[in-house]
Chain A
Amino acid sequence: MATVATPGLGGKTEAHDPHESYLAEKGLKSWLFTLDHKRIGIMYLIGVLAAFLLGGILALLVRLELFTAGRTIMTAEQYNKVFSMHGIVMVFLFIIPAVPGALGNIFLPIQLGTKDVAFPRLNLTSFYVWVLGAVFGLYTMIHGGVDTGWTFYTPYSSKFTNTSVIPMLTAAFILGFSSILTGVNFIATVHTMRAPGMSWKRLPLFIWALYATSIIQVLATPVLAITLFLLIFERAFGLGIFDPSMGGDPVLFQHFFWFYSHPAVYIMIVPGMGVISEIICTFSRRAPFGYFFIAMSSLGLALLGFLVWGHHMFVAGMSEYSTMVFSALTFLVGIPSGVKVFNWVTTLYKGSISLKSPMLYALGFIFLFTIGGLTGLFLAMLAVDVHLHDTYFVVAHFHYVMVGGTVIAFVGGLHYWWPKFTGKMYNEGMARAAFALVFIGFNVTFLSQFVLGSRGMPRRYYDYLPEFQSLHQVSTIGSWILGLGFLVMLVMFIQSLQQGKDAPRNPWGSAALEWQTPTPIPFHNFVDQPVITRGPYDYHLATEAELDEGYAPGERPADADD
């Protein structure tokens, strides 16, 4: 439990200069065996970005195949595998660990004013468990992949498909462990590691979001673990509990699966919401409207997330009464989501708004998440769901929440905190161009899918009727614009690392704690142990020096002003 120090475990034994940057030590070993949460976060970041690249390429292949009806570039069998692998890579390898594993790992201890997470060794373990899961996943892909979709529905996954289901289930099982360990670590850290004066009422909203997420990770992920474990044995030894011909129940698998996978949706979106709260406050230069409600709505989402899994199964053969209850509970999710959206918008009101690239992503998030959330209500309605179930409407809905929500928030957070953890500024003009491409490309890709779905185009189909072709082509062209946007962003970030200007301590003029420590971040996060005397958004209590943007005269990047 990280309580015994082992000398020489990839570390220096001499003392650290308190001003020394965490990036100062060089060498591969100093990274691979690090116990520093910031370095582990960066390794996570590299890992999840690689997964995002892989998943993104698979997505482009799916869209390309659908450019024409019938065969375009691959066979139906290959298509089934490609969309399955896209879902699995994006869900388990990218979107679940993205915000907590990368941004959360780097900034949770800093925002709490502490030196590290509670269990640094467990933190590193969690990363390597993720790597192990990723290796299993990649092995499966090379070995032919799976064609079950990311949901592994029985009895197809247990009895009929001849693809590599068991190694892929093992990969997901292992990745679940990584997620649980991160959750346990963050819960213990938030409870016990807060700096003097960092009361619960002063916790940054990003921390509240990560805390709520960690609770879901700890409570929901083990249910996925047992489900996958049972499915592995069902497939390998014919247990019979998910097999109707042996007296079992395939719908039981769906219940088990969604009991995890619906809360998992909140594992994906809630940390993104936390990022957005931070960005909106910083770039409106004011305290959030209804801090307490935004904080509690994260916990509200965590709670409600456990009560609505049945809405994935309205047409799978549940009793009418359960579907009614699940439908009603699903509508309740609109309350905490609405609280967040309205409070963000109200925070903007009379704020001193600066439209830098992170803020553009935050505003984009509000717009796209609202569409994603409201179309969720269509699907929660029983009669409407019968028509829309398993159509592109569902695909568009969850991509608006997962990509328009989480990915946009993750990328926004990356822009927001990039100067702090890399110590480099990036080209604001390129960042805005990338945002414009991503925003337009995303909407072109997925708005058309709402129309496709409402006209009856089923999801996961390889072929389609001629009347769907034009909309499919619009969607595919949108995916190219979206891909181009991410490419521009990648070039911009690489350029920033190579030739970016050195970032000042507080380039956005934020009152939050992580911007008060030097850039790049010192090894122990702070030069002196901070004592917290105000909340992270108390702009009226922050001193001039704290809000100082830190550019020497004439040094201000030319494209950084509005």
Chain B
Amino acid sequence: MSSEAATADATTEVPEGHDDHGHDEHGHNDHAHPSYLAHHFDTPQQQFDAAKVGMWAFLVQELLFFSGIFVAYGIFRSWYPEMFSAAAHQLDRPIGAGNTIVLLVSSLTAALAVREAQLGRKAGTSRYLLLTILCALIFLGVKSYEYNHKFQAGLLPGHFYHPHLHHLVEGSPALPENAHIFYSIYFMATGIHAIHILVGIGVLTWIWRRNERGDFSKEYYAGVDIAALYWHLVDLVWIYLFPLLYLID
């Protein structure tokens, strides 16, 4: 409720050169602050720093969230190394590798979107944001294709695990005992990651809309910046999940 209230606060100093109004239309008439600056910040720099620190703190908690899955992976892998190796063999490496490349490209386009935003190029920012969203959708499409195959082969978590031999990778021996644990971890890890991708698509779409609306400028691009930070984290988690689940024998 206090967003509009800063007008009365004559004691808040506004640094020189930050009194421009023209970048968006949020109704701060005769405002001492630039229009994108929330009332409780003194300078755009302070606002940007707060957003950055907040996002990094949030990313740290994201890492700790995934850490539980990684620890479970490490423990069960050390308990059942042969089972993990055999079960991992059923995952489709070329498709996984392709998906990894798709995500890496999406991180690049996200970084380029930030660069375009820093330069104040609205069209370029939108283009790269859309490309990032496109890559995310491709990733999810490929992932659902993989999931579908696992469902058909009965390679499912816990109680639902019932492998059909004719669906397994050709020439592989029957899966060892407790293989359901590998697929429990596989589905939990990639499932949580996919939820993060979905959230990322939502965030990037929102940022794209705000960009189209003209919220961002050379002076104010924090939204693009921190959305990209989030996206890089989602990418980074996959960079660890892919070798751990698909590659290590």
Contacts and interface: CB of A to CB of B under 8 A. Distances in A.
A2 interface: yes
Given A187-B53, A229-B188, 11 more contacts: A4-B210, A12-B4, A34-B1, A118-B53, A189-B50, A222-B61, A238-B158, A239-B184, A240-B159, A252-B75, A524-B5
Given A5-B39, A239-B158, A241-B181, A36 B2 contact: yes
Q: How large is the interface on B (under 10, 10 to 19, 20 to 34, 35 or more residues)?
A: 35 or more
Contact of B181 (A114, A188, A237, A248): A248
Given A191-B49, A247-B178, A11 B188 contact: no
Given A15-B7, A192-B53, A223-B68, A238 B159 contact: yes
Given A3-B223, A5-B28, A221 B61 contact: yes
Interface string A283-314: 00000000000000000000000000000000
Instruction: Kindly list the 10 A-B residue pairs having the minimum CB-CB distance in the complex, ordered from nearest.
Output: A11-B1, A226-B68, A238-B159, A15-B8, A247-B178, A222-B65, A5-B3, A188-B54, A116-B40, A118-B50
Contacts of B8: 15-18
Contacts of A114: 40
Given A114-B40, A219-B64, A240-B158, A192 B49 contact: yes
A524 B9 contact: yes
A184 interface: yes
B119 interface: no
Nearest to B47: A3
A246 interface: yes
A119 interface: yes
B71 to A, nearest CB: 8
A180 B5 CA distance: 28
13 contacts: A3-B47, A12-B4, A15-B8, A35-B2, A116-B2, A120-B40, A184-B61, A187-B53, A219-B61, A223-B68, A238-B157, A238-B158, A238-B159
Nearest to A117: B40
B242 to A, nearest CB: 19
Given A184-B58, A187-B54, A529 B12 contact: yes
Contacts of B64: 218-220, 222-223
Interface in B1-59: 1-5, 7-9, 11-13, 24, 26-28, 36-42, 46-47, 49-51, 53-55, 57-58
Contact of B11 (A1, A13, A220, A529): A529
Contact of B67 (A5, A180, A223, A229): A223
A523 B8 CA distance: 11
A238 B215 CA distance: 47
B60 A246 contact: no
Given A185-B54, A193-B46, A7 B27 contact: yes
B53 A188 contact: yes
Interface string B64-79: 1111110110011001
B9 A18 contact: yes
Contacts of B80: 247
Interface in A529-557: 529
Contacts of A132: none
Interface in A215-263: 218-223, 225-227, 229-230, 233-234, 237-241, 246-249, 252, 256
Interface string B186-219: 0010001000000000000000001000010000
A10 B168 CA distance: 59
B39 A240 contact: no
Interface of B: 1-5, 7-9, 11-13, 24, 26-28, 36-42, 46-47, 49-51, 53-55, 57-58, 60-62, 64-69, 71-72, 75-76, 79-80, 157-160, 177-178, 180-181, 184-185, 188, 192, 210, 215, 220, 222-223, 226
B4 A13 contact: yes
B70 to A, nearest CB: 10
A238 B3 CA distance: 49
Given A17-B8, A241-B72, A528-B11, A4 B215 contact: yes
A30 interface: yes
A36 B1 contact: yes
Contacts of A162: none
Nearest to A3: B38
Contacts of A246: 158, 178, 180-181
A11 B57 contact: no
A10 B1 CA distance: 5
A33 interface: yes
A9 B38 CA distance: 14
A183 interface: yes
A6 interface: yes
A213 to B, nearest CB: 13
B160 A237 contact: yes
Contacts of A221: 61
A119 B184 contact: no
Nearest to B179: A247
B26 A223 contact: no
A123 to B, nearest CB: 11
A225 B58 CA distance: 14
A30 B1 contact: yes
B223 to A, nearest CB: 7
Contacts of B178: 240, 246-247
Contacts of A501: none
B184 A241 contact: yes
B158 A9 contact: no
Nearest to B31: A5
Contact of B3 (A6, A119, A234): A6
Nearest to A186: B57
A79 B163 CA distance: 44
A528 B9 CA distance: 8
B13 to A, nearest CB: 8
Interface string A123-134: 000000000000
Contacts of B50: 118-119, 188-189, 191-193
Given A116-B40, A219-B64, A240-B159, A226 B226 contact: no
A100 B41 CA distance: 22
Given A3-B36, A10-B1, A524-B9, A249 B75 contact: yes
A459 interface: no
Interface string A391-429: 000000000000000000000000000000000000000
Contact of B68 (A116, A184, A230, A240): A230
Given A218-B60, A237-B158, A247 B39 contact: no
Contacts of A524: 2, 5, 9
Given A192-B50, A223-B67, A240-B158, A11 B40 contact: no
A499 to B, nearest CB: 29
A236 B197 CA distance: 24
B210 to A, nearest CB: 8
Contacts of A523: 2, 5
B77 to A, nearest CB: 12
Contacts of A4: 24, 26, 36, 38, 210, 215
A33 B1 contact: yes
A184 B57 contact: yes
A247 B8 CA distance: 66
A24 to B, nearest CB: 12
